[in-house]
Amino acid sequence: MTVRRDDVIAWIQAYADVIAENKARLTQLDSDIGDGDHGTNMDRGFQAVKAKVPEFADKDIGAVLKTVGMTLVSTVGGASGPLYGTFFLQAGSATAGKMELSLNDWIAALQAGVDGIIMRGKANLGDKTMVDALLPALQALKESASSGAGLPASLKASAAACEQGMLATVPLVARKGRASYLGERSAGHQDPGATSSHMLLQAAAESWSMLAD
């Protein structure tokens, strides 16, 4: 079972739609502990990505993901642009030249993307950032694959772990980003970056749930 180039494009488009639908929610979460622009910024970036979809027709998966990354860096403000941009750029490097992805290829892409975010943002588990959602998602993906589960089941497990990581940010005190300025007052709020990260992997699980060999 593999994810083809057009499946990757469908995932990106689906995520752009999810961000548009949840723009207000993400902005509210960010208003509680940040600048209040996460939803607006992410929506602007992914609408710009959707506008580039016609350019993807002759590109491999790596090139598609790199284009997404570069578009986000150039259009998304705040911390989200560099972080999400880095995620897609690094995932693109890991999938360069490929027209389809196996489960192991997706693990490598997600690993590269998460490593890029950690390197760029200097965040660790427990800092109340998107890393708190993405690292458990990556670990669950690896464990599911090691157990012999197929791609759809592994994606579902990864998205579920991502959701749990997202929810686990609520009681944390932020140690990175604008939220860290609030100190103890940042506790009790769900991290907006972790929330949009869960949406990203949930969109992948849903978009690729019915893939056939």
> Is 16 inside a domain boundary?
yes
Q: Is residue 28 included in any domain, yes or no? A: yes
Whether 89 maps to a domain, the answer reads: yes
Q: Is residue 152 part of a domain?
A: yes
For residue 213, is it within any domain? no
Q: How many residues are listed for the chain in this entry?
A: 213
* Res 31: pLDDT: 85
In the chain, the number of structural domains is 1
Q: Considering the domain boundaries, does residue 45 fall inside one? A: yes
DSSP line for 29-81? HHHHHS-S-HHHHHHHHHHHHHHTGGGGGG--HHHHHHHHHHHHHHH--TTHH
Which pLDDT belongs to residue 106?
Answer: 98
Residue 35 falls within a domain, yes or no? Answer: yes
Q: Please give the pLDDT value at position 184.
A: 66
Query: What's the pLDDT at 213?
Result: 43
Per-10-residue mean pLDDT, the chain, length 213:
94 97 94 84 96 94 98 88 96 98 97 96 86 97 96 96 96 67 69 96 94 54
Return the structure tokens found at 23. Answer: 């723009």
What is the CA angle 120-134-37, rounded to 5?
65
Dihedral sign (CA 69, 199, 59, 2): positive
For the domain that residue 82 is a member of, what is the CATH number? Answer: 1.25.40.340
Closest listed residue to residue 171, CA positions, set 188, 190, 185: 188
Domain of 43, in residue numbers: 3-207
